[in-house]
A and B are shown apart, each in its own frame.
Chain A
Amino acid sequence: MTVTLDAAANAAANAAVNAPASAPANAPVIAAAAAPAASAEPTLVIDGAVKRYPNGAVAVRGVTIEVGQGELVVFVGPSGCGKSTLLRMVAGLEDITEGEIRIAGRRVNEVEPAERDIAMVFQNYALYPHMTVRQNLAYGLKNRGTDKAEIARKVAEAAAMLQIEDFLDRKPSQLSGGQRQRVAMGRCIVRDPSLFLFDEPLSNLDARLRTQMRLEIRKLQRRLKVSAIYVTHDQVEAMTLADRIVVLNGGQVEQVGAPSEVYARPASTFVAAFIGAPAMNLIPAELAGGALRIGAEAVPFAAPPAGMAPGFVTLGLRPEKARVVPQAERAGGLPFTLDAVEELGASRLLHGRAAGADVVTAADAALPIPQGPLALHADPADLHFFDAVTGTRL
């Protein structure tokens, strides 16, 4: 495995990558921390990027993000939030209306996609249907004028890495979805780019294959130590893959952070509702007279945090942090009426109402379903408070 990053990549990264061929392969690849060196120049800087389409639609409204050396950043957000547009601006497939994009310190706004030192995997793979897998992999290198022996070597190397050697002489139409996916990645790998771009690469696969390929992408990216941006609308994919998550909403960044951080401290109700499944319960509440009220009822298990001004708030509570217990067993809960039970195998979801608000809670499926008059409990530390109007975290 001798993946050489471009000259622009810093020496430290090169030294690591050019280690003896077998070493990285044998190393526990997942455990190897990505740990973007703080001092290293970021591979990619998106600086105040704006995209206005000719029809006037503004898809990206001033986004500023950095992607560090060897880091995997996931852009996640609902459909239409501008993820693909932003990625395509990085790739050079869309013009940049305002702002600047720098790859390895070089401004690339006016640079052709082929010259940007990037490689991209498309949602539908975009393999050339009339070419064999081998020709698909080699095409980019051929256009760059790489010599034949070098192309053959790189193709063989990428094919071995992705275990597609047996299909090299097939056409894409003779491959399964997962195999096409690998070929699409192979096409990226042979180019030794300094940045991988993935646009929802797994959404055409079935659920099982998706989980498997997700892991493989992760391993591969770790192994190659190439920076990557991965676009998805699937928060599970985002959580499992990312070094850092960028949550996008309406063309703007809602929050940037490590998956655990985004999950634990969502910056807004939007992020709170988007990250985590089932979604966080968001309940309108009021801070008044030193108590937290939902509708007319005081919430017995939570006092308003110190220093928070009275007024309307949105209360956030993750389903897995809420507990439903028979009132007889424990006092001090919010009365809860159970409406429906959903079995998920390992856990079950209890849908019900508490103080007039819809609440979902998740419980271990091994425990019996609570019976009789019920109450909702939660640890005050697990409550999130958001501004009722702006939705930002308080």
Chain B
Amino acid sequence: MTALADPLAPAPAAPAAARPVNRARRRAQILHHIVLIFGVLLMCGPMVVTFMSSTWDPVVIHSEGLQLGYGGKFLETYETVLLKGGGFTGEITGTLMLWNSVLLGLGFAIGKIVISMLAAYAIVYFRFPFASLAFWVIFATLLLPLEVRILPSYEVVQRLGMLNSWSGLILPLIASATATFFFRQFFRSIPDELLEAARIDGAGPFRFFVDILAPLSKTMMAAIFIIMFVVGWNQYLWPALMTTDESMFTIVRGIRQILQVWIGANIPDYNQALALAILAMAPPALVVLVFQRMFIKGLVETEK
């Protein structure tokens, strides 16, 4: 807050005049902080409750409800969740599911970036018949989300014999109208002279893409990577349909699965389910935290 307020501070005026201004500003700051703290509580409260509860014995959770204090069983619970085989086959661990989610998230995000950059490159920089029609057709697919076309998609993947494979899980999802649109807008904002200078410098279409367009798109790629990684990570319906092999389960699916299977005992392992939920939430949150600066840069700043 102070960092924000300081550059705006008026040049040192007469001290008498400055004082009421300072007081007004202080009051505004306090108000701002109250609003911000409220927002933080709203966002973090459920996470904290989930985490705290996951460190308690399931019996306590069952009888006394969710906990706000630390229960002392952090290590046992998380060790069990991460390393103990579970599921129908008894072979799937939390670590494996996390790894699967990372694979899906990465494949999903990287695939989308590659495909949509190439598509946008073709649309913006190459003159071919019906280029803008092609773009709008791609754009129109936004009207057909996965849920709408899930049956035909399943059919196609199944016919190709790609069920229970990573390629079957990832490839059908990586065409992205949204990312193509973002890259198209970005490429269009790059001055034509840059392409012309590169042409004079002897860069062909491939060199221009690799040496100039791709490095310039770095922040844009980071922004899209974050969004798409989180989207990929959170996929539920599609992996549930495409993979029946438990060794390919993602963590988002695993939460439900584990709760369901382990319900055999008298008291469900609430603590483990909650721990899984925390594990499922942490990596996307980390990605956002780490890439946050680039993300914002990608959206607001242009290095041209």
Contacts and interface: CB of A to CB of B under 8 A. Distances in A.
B200 A139 contact: no
Interface residues of A, number: 24
B200 A114 contact: yes
B193 A139 contact: no
B147 interface: no
A58 interface: no
B211 A139 contact: yes
Interface in B161-199: 191, 193-194, 196-199
Nearest to B214: A130
Nearest to B212: A128
A216 to B, nearest CB: 21
A140 B211 CA distance: 12
Contacts of A390: none
Interface string A109-149: 00011100011101110111110000000011001100000
B260 to A, nearest CB: 51
The B interface, classified by DSSP as helix, strand, loop or mixed, is: helix
Given A126-B194, A128-B212, A130-B216, A114 B201 contact: yes
A122 B202 contact: no
A128 B207 CA distance: 13
Contacts of B6: none
A118 B207 CA distance: 20
Contacts of A113: 196, 199-200
A173 B202 contact: no
A118 B196 CA distance: 13
A119 B216 CA distance: 23
The A interface, classified by DSSP as helix, strand, loop or mixed, is: mixed
Contact of B194 (A118, A128, A173): A128
Contacts of A159: none
A129 B196 contact: no
Contacts of A129: 216, 303-304
A126 B197 contact: yes
Given A129-B304, A130-B216, A144 B202 contact: yes
Contacts of B196: 88, 91, 93, 113, 120, 122, 126
A202 to B, nearest CB: 16
B199 A114 contact: yes
A114 B202 contact: yes
Interface in B44-60: none
A180 B297 CA distance: 24
A231 to B, nearest CB: 14
Interface core residue of B193, B216, B304 (most chain A CB under 10 Å): B193
Given A120-B197, A122-B193, A126-B196, A173 B207 contact: no
A112 B199 contact: yes
Contacts of B118: none
Given A113-B200, A140-B200, A144-B202, A126 B191 contact: yes
Nearest to A199: B193
B66 interface: no
Contacts of A118: 200
Interface string B92-114: 00000000000000000000000
Interface in B201-218: 201-203, 207, 211-212, 215-216, 218
Interface in A69-96: 88, 91-93
Contacts of B200: 91-93, 113-114, 118-120, 140
Nearest to B193: A126
A143 B216 contact: no
A121 B130 CA distance: 33
Contacts of A123: 193
Contacts of B203: 114, 139, 143
Interface string B204-246: 0001000110011010000000000000000000000000000
Given A93-B199, A118-B200, A124 B193 contact: yes
B199 A130 contact: no
A112 B201 CA distance: 11
Given A91-B196, A130-B215, 20 more contacts: A91-B200, A92-B200, A93-B199, A93-B200, A113-B196, A113-B200, A114-B199, A114-B200, A119-B200, A124-B191, A124-B193, A126-B196, A128-B212, A130-B218, A139-B203, A143-B201, A143-B202, A143-B207, A144-B202, A187-B197
13 contacts: A88-B196, A92-B199, A93-B199, A114-B202, A114-B203, A124-B191, A124-B193, A126-B194, A129-B216, A130-B218, A139-B203, A144-B202, A173-B303
Interface of B: 191, 193-194, 196-203, 207, 211-212, 215-216, 218, 303-304
Interface of A: 88, 91-93, 112-114, 118-120, 122-124, 126-130, 139-140, 143-144, 173, 187
